Amino acid sequence: MSILITWAVITVSMFVASQMLTRMKIKGGVWNHFVVSALFGVLMVVSGWIFYAALGFATGGLLFMFSFVGKVLTAAIVLKLTDLFSDRLEVKGFGTAIVAALIMNVSGAIAELILSASA
């Protein structure tokens, strides 16, 4: 059940980011939003930890201490990978990916707070 909730939260956070940013678009309807968020989630599970670790070691451990920044940068990289592998998502530029990842992390954190408060 928690996988479905996580998938829904990622879908909503990607929707919010795509609505707020003109340089990020998810083409198509609701189904495409779910497909793109599923691809993002799978890529995050498969490769996100590699990027997080690489960024952490490349900065001499600073990103391990500033975890939120590391998570945003990792999500931005995976978001650009999702754009590369899917015709349904368009993210123009790495700066847009960083802002989108920031929006996604903040809206995801808000959704987690709401869900944990209602549980």
Looking at residue 88, its pLDDT comes to 96
**pLDDT tens digits for range 5-64:** 888 889 999 999 999 999 999 999 999 999 999 999 999 999 999 999 999 999 988 888
Asked whether the beta carbons of 14 and 102 are under 8 A apart, the reply is no
**For the chain, what percentages of helix, strand and coil (3-state, to nearest 5) are there?**
80, 5, 15
